[in-house]
């Protein structure tokens, strides 16, 4: 598929996975009655006479002018039933939007292990992954925006709108059209992380203060992190903290840390006793409750060790005590390890003493160098003193011409293969390019869990973020 076709979908790709939020609104009916055909204006309740008219005005439903007599139209609120707030009865799991407040809320209970919460036709329910993926490919989102992998397509097919279809060449215009890179594709969406336009250009986006990057989109507090009844919302006692399970049972969300004299216990900020120095005279003491307690500093020649100031031995004092008898590190007390008998230039500390390894010339004079293989030059070191030149490899202590492997050795497929001579092979053919570690895919496709996957918007879904092929795609028209 050409980049022009791609651009016509108005997509922006970015790493990661993000919630797919449905948009709902509270509807309203026009309570003001319109005028009758030839008669006077009918009102909302249809009680005003429509003088000499044929059809009375609409008010709520229909206000019938009735030939100039009293109108008997329906009451206005009969045409405006009360909107039900909160989760609909058809949503038994996951997250949705409250149609009255617009807030994202949790519904029902998270799905058990092995099931995922998916929505279709206004119904959100827990289903097995097998049933969700029947006849589908690519990635399907649960209602929390977590990607459910349904696998790739056979060779010669592309995954379009979660369906495997035969590959085809489509040209709908200029081939150099790409969606412009922007961190704010619309007024209500801010992207974050590394985003791509699908044409090789990338851009780094970050979130404004007070929001966090969740699945590539900046969001406020996730509904899973809203405090329980009576809980604080600023990291105080009762606030949600740490990583908690999402509303679908398919992943976790980060709810931040705790403030003040509280600590995170079982996903909730709970009151605790702050740290105190007690018998500690230096350094700091922390118990996970609030800020650590600062307990003082030691003098320049002292070390803070086990909560107290301690003076380690000098190398001279260690020598007088008979401790220094090796070039390696010795204990000077107070947790200090140091070498007091370092070796000189060209020497190595080996087996407790200073050792001078042979040079390659000395090794050759000693008859140690017999070929290109590594030889022992003493002091525990191995080195090749006759390395092979470019294009040669050492086999059996002799340099021989390296015969590189070819793509035929790898079945003429894949990429980033070693040729055995220090180079890599790219065996992609038929217009495919290397994706991931070793996969050949058509341009525009990505390596998703070992298969070539075509990121593309599902136009049957509402505008907004979608997760396809492990990437978050912003599907909202050209920004």
DSSP state of 4: H
The pLDDT-based confidence of 412 (bands split at 50, 70, 90) is: confident
Residue 13's pLDDT is what?
43
Q: Report residue 430: phi and psi, to 5°.
A: 65, 30
Residue 194's pLDDT is what?
64
Counting Cα atoms < 13 Å in the Cβ hemisphere of 199 gives 17
Q: Say yes or no to pLDDT of 313 above 90.
A: yes
The pLDDT-based confidence of 459 (bands split at 50, 70, 90) is: low
| Burial degree of 289 (CB within 10 A; 0-12, 13-18, 19+) | middle
The pLDDT-based confidence of 473 (bands split at 50, 70, 90) is: low
Residue 464's pLDDT is what?
64
Residue 294's pLDDT is what?
93
**C-alpha span between 222 and 227 (Å, rounded):** 11
Averaged pLDDT score across all residues of the chain:
74
**C-alpha span between 205 and 192 (Å, rounded):** 4
Q: Say yes or no to pLDDT of 27 above 70.
A: no
Residue 197's pLDDT is what?
55
**C-alpha span between 204 and 317 (Å, rounded):** 57
pLDDT in tens, 326-356: 888 889 999 999 888 888 888 899 888 899 9
Residues 12 and 195: beta-carbon distance below 8 Å: yes
Whole-structure pTM value:
0.43
Q: Say yes or no to pLDDT of 363 above 80.
A: yes
Q: Say yes or no to pLDDT of 178 above 60.
A: no
**Closest of 357, 340, 361 to residue 348, by C-alpha:** 357
pLDDT in tens, 32-69: 343 344 444 443 343 334 444 444 333 333 334 444 44
Give 78 or 109, the one with higher predicted confidence: 109
**C-alpha span between 359 and 290 (Å, rounded):** 59
Q: Say yes or no to pLDDT of 304 above 90.
A: yes
Domain ranges of the chain: 3-20+85-196+452-475, 407-443
């Amino acid at each position: 598929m050409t980049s022009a076709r791609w651009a016509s979908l108005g997509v922006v790709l970015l790493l990661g996975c993000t919630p797919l939020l449905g948009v709902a609104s509270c509807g309203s009916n026009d309570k003001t009655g319109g005028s009758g055909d030839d008669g006077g204006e009918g009102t909302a309740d249809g009680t005003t006479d429509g003088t000499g008219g044929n059809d009375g005005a609409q008010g709520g439903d229909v206000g019938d002018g009735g030939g100039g007599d009293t109108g008997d139209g329906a009451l206005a609120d009969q045409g405006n039933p009360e909107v039900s707030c909160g989760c609909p009865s058809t949503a038994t799991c996951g997250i949705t939007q409250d149609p009255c407040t617009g807030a994202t809320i949790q519904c029902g209970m998270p799905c058990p292990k092995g099931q995922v919460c998916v929505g279709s036709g206004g119904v959100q329910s827990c289903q097995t992954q097998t049933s969700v993926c029947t006849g589908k490919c690519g990635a399907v989102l649960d209602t929390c925006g977590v990607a459910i992998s349904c696998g790739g397509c056979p060779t010669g097919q592309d995954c379009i709108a979660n369906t495997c279809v035969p590959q085809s060449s489509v040209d709908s215009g200029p081939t150099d059209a790409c969606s412009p890179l922007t961190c704010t594709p619309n007024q209500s969406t801010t992207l974050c992380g590394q985003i791509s336009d699908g044409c090789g250009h990338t851009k780094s986006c970050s979130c404004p203060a007070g929001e966090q990057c969740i699945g590539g989109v900046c969001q406020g507090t996730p509904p899973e992190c809203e405090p329980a009844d009576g809980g604080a919302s600023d990291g105080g006692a009762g606030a949600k903290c740490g990583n908690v399970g999402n509303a679908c049972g398919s992943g976790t969300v980060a709810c931040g840390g705790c403030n003040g004299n509280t600590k995170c216990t079982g996903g909730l900020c709970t009151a605790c006793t702050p740290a105190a120095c007690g018998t500690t005279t230096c350094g700091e003491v922390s118990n996970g409750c609030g800020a650590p307690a600062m307990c003082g500093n030691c003098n320049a020649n002292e070390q803070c060790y086990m909560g107290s100031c301690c003076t380690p031995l000098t190398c001279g004092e260690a020598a007088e005590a008979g401790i220094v008898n090796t070039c390696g590190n010795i204990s000077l007390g107070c947790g200090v390890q140091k070498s007091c008998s370092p070796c000189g230039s060209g020497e190595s500390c080996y087996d407790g003493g200073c050792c001078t390894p042979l040079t390659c010339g000395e090794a050759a004079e000693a008859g140690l160098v017999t070929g290109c293989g590594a030889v022992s030059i003493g002091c525990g070191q191995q080195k090749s003193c006759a390395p092979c030149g470019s294009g040669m490899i050492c086999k059996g202590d002799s340099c021989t011409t390296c015969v590189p492997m070819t793509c035929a050795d790898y079945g003429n497929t894949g990429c980033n293969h070693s040729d055995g001579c220090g180079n890599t092979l790219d065996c992609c053919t038929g217009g495919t390019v290397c994706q991931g570690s070793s996969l050949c895919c058509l341009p525009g496709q990505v390596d998703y869990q070992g298969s070539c996957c075509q990121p593309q918007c599902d136009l049957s879904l509402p505008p907004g973020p979608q997760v396809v092929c492990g990437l978050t795609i912003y599907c909202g028209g050209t920004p």
